[in-house]
A and B are shown apart, each in its own frame.
Chain A
Amino acid sequence: MRARSIRGAGATATAAAIAVAASACSAPGDGGSDAKDSAVVGIAYEPETLSPLLGYGKDGNSKIFDGLLTHDADMKLKPALAAALPKVADDAKTYTYKLRKGVKFSDGKPFSAKDVVFTYETILDKKTNNASKTELDAVKSVEAKGDDTVVFHLKYPYAPFAERTVLPIAPEHVAGKQDVNTGTFTTKPVGTGPYKLVKWSKGEKLTFKANPDYWGGAPKVKNFTMAIIKDDDIRATRLDAGELDGAILPPNLAKKYKSDSGRNTYAAKTFDYRVVTLPTGNKVAGDTDIRRALDVGVDRKAMVDSILYGEGKEAYGPVPTDSPWFTKGTERTFDAAKAKKILDDAGWKPGKDGIREKDGVQAEFPLWYLSGDKLRQDHALAYASDAKKIGIKVEVQSGTWEVIQPRMPKDAVLAGGGSPADPDFDQYTLLKSSLAGDGFNNMAHYDNPKVDKALEEARKSGDHAKRQAAYDTIQRELVKNPGYTFLTHIDHLYVVDKKFGDLSTQVEPHDHGLASGPWWNVEDWQPKK
């Protein structure tokens, strides 16, 4: 009797153990990521809104929406809701778009020219709280001609304007009937894109379903989920636990997946730069010789190797060295001896503690970085350490933008930025003297008449050769008088399961948009059978 009850207990325990083991095998797999037509990716940022009227998807590629134009893998413009690239007239002041026929919003209602006009006019409306509306500054008016033609009239000739028309089009029949700043459209969007939003569980995930009637063809990946996991370590953990098919990761965590047989690592090339602003208003940082000495006296290669683990490249300007807009021959090789000679020749003589002096002024200035940003902190400290070796004292300090912004005219800042679509987008706001101190534009208060002139020429001219020549001039001027020390361009790293085949990435901007990374074209993925 006694023996039997013990055996019985043993059997129960065994059964329980098997049950636990079985659930152990199946539980993580229940994530649904086993199915070939589903993809789950982990992202680091949650959007505040999904309304294009408030700025969502303004750089294109929003999955729920389409713009008039979109980018291909090489960031070349191609038609989306427009039937072809725009006709440009009147010396780059009038842009005419013919629209694609038969496109429907995912609620079944037809898309037409009035939706385009509604979208642009709403964004430009003063009452709309869209923080990026400065980007449409050139637009004077938008006009619908019939159902299938839209004409943009610009205030001034603006060659890169077509790049701005990748911004997503909202349906007037939905978004026009509610408060643009807080209506339900901001969380329950309706668009023409390849995916429909099923649910946005704030703080947790965004779930999408393929739009079977998408004008570009129904996507093969039917269910697409973006899990919002802000902490890098937790994202990596959930990738390991099998709950995610892919994720964005910082270089130190992405490293270990390089040798993973089940996953591919992708390093997306970017325009995402880290830069030190050298404000003209500072006696030391504003001195051309100091600027030139720092430009050759900092070891960019070492920063790429030690801070980015090799996942990035040296930067000499906002344009990355592998971009067609880059001016060959403007690379600055690291040469501390040359830097010291520049300073010696200019009369900056070593004083006490090795810090140089000229006319009673010590070669020192403060450098601020955004507190909590590890990458910027590392860059700032490396910069200060290199500067010290050539006799310039850079005091590294951290603060929030509220603390930093008022100091920008006098103090250096470790800043970031980068927009691949057109060289005008970065450079005009970064270098134009008339924009000095306007918000976060031209943080260094850079003032160079030759650069100003070239910037104007480049944006007005529709001719590629003329534009290239203007941007060449700017990059050469930045060697002679660098108002900024550009340090690195940073690769964005992603890890994705191999079952989705070999994927590609676009050249990415500074911002991590929702649809950056290998899933930029998830609608075209062909999962392995």
Chain B
Amino acid sequence: MARLVARRALFAVPVLLLVTFGVFAIAAASPFDPVKAYAGTAGLTASQENLDQLRANLGVDRPLTARWWDWLTSALTGDFGDSSTLRQPVADAIGERIGWSVLLAATAFVVAILLGTALGVLAARRPGGWLDRAVTSLAYTLEAAPPFWLGLLAVWFFALKLGVLPSGGLTDTASSTVTAGQVASHLVLPAGVLAVSQLPWFVLYVRQGVGDALGDDPVRGARARGLAERTVLLGHALRSGMLPVLTLIGSRVPELITGALLVETVFSWPGIAAATVQAATSVDFPLLAALTVLATAAVLLGNLVADLLYGLADPRVGFDG
């Protein structure tokens, strides 16, 4: 197990290097001009001399490889540079926001896994039954619905029609302090929407896995031995039916990140979403590179966790495989 982790960590280094270089290369090739992005509307009345001075100050006229190397070497010493769009150090910019994004994504993920598993097992019990058909068709419908649209729908229904939940922000709009209670009530809608957008995959995988397992010999044997339906379902079928879901957990991470970006916009959630979009369209190299490293690390970590869980759940799968 330790060997698997060590090998993956070693493998992550070249991947991260390649990804950051890719970000710099793509950003440099993009048609966006970082100086215009920095200047914003003020740039529309600025003189060429002023714009040229900005270009030199921001260091964006230097070659791609030099900028990447500078960023890399200072990043290794813990200095991630300054974000040009947010006018503050990258570490501060990310530090202020990432916690809220992680809270949102983690809550949504846990809800999606638990709810998805429950619904999947229920559906698998009676394949073709009314519950199965209802759950499956709901899952297919949700699969096609974009999180942005789900978010607007949720705001309209829960905040406007029912008036039971706040429609956006981290805390009540007029409040200047952040309390756990307020964050919890403000988290319900965004996390709910994000969870629901992730739900279909878990439901469908669990339903398939458990359904298949119910037809397997060990399960049929367990039934034949007269074990309770509950034990058969949860003890035997679910255990082997969950294996594909564990792999799914890792592969859903990228989708979760993009989903979170959209959901944060709809709910004015102060996560890293807005910063990410801004960093990309403004060619804010330091911020963009740091965010990309984070996203890549999250994906790699997601895959590692999935493999570890797989190994734990099914002893037949070795950690060195």
**Chain A residues within 8 Å of B, Cβ to Cβ:** 20, 23-25, 27-28, 30-33, 35, 38, 40, 46, 48-49, 51, 54-55, 58, 126-127, 129, 131-135, 137, 179, 181-182, 184, 186-187, 198-199, 201-205, 207, 209, 223, 225, 227-231, 233-234, 237-238, 240-244, 400-403, 417, 429, 435, 438-441, 510-511
Contact = CB atoms under 8 A, between A and B. Distances in A.
A203 B88 contact: no
Contacts of A132: 42, 45-46
A231 B266 contact: yes
Interface residues of B, number: 63
Contact of B58 (A129, A187, A199): A129
Given A27-B185, A40-B174, A202 B32 contact: no
Given A126-B53, A203-B268, A204-B169, A23 B38 contact: no
B143 interface: no
Of B46, B54, B97, B155, the most chain A CB neighbours within 10 A belong to: B46
Contacts of A439: 43-48, 50-51
A330 to B, nearest CB: 24
A401 B274 CA distance: 21
Nearest to A415: B44
Given A203-B264, A237-B156, A181 B167 contact: no
Given A48-B85, A439-B46, A32 B175 contact: yes
Contact of B167 (A204, A238, A400): A238
B166 A243 contact: yes
B176 A223 contact: yes
B86 A203 contact: no
Interface string B242-269: 0000000000000000000000111011
B266 to A, nearest CB: 7
A324 to B, nearest CB: 23
Contact of A40 (B54, B88, B173, B265): B173
A46 B275 CA distance: 11
Nearest to A21: B164
A129 B54 contact: yes
Contact of A402 (B32, B41, B87, B170): B32
Given A133-B50, A135-B45, A203-B273, A227 B163 contact: no
A30 B159 CA distance: 13
B173 A202 contact: no
A225 B162 contact: no
Interface string B149-182: 0001001100110111111111011111000000
A111 to B, nearest CB: 24
B219 interface: no
B96 interface: yes
A402 B281 CA distance: 12
A127 B160 CA distance: 49
Contacts of A127: 57
Contact of A241 (B48, B160, B275): B160
Nearest to B168: A238
Contact of A230 (B160, B170, B265, B271): B265
Contacts of A55: 42
A187 B155 contact: no
Given A48-B86, A54-B87, A230-B265, A203 B271 contact: yes
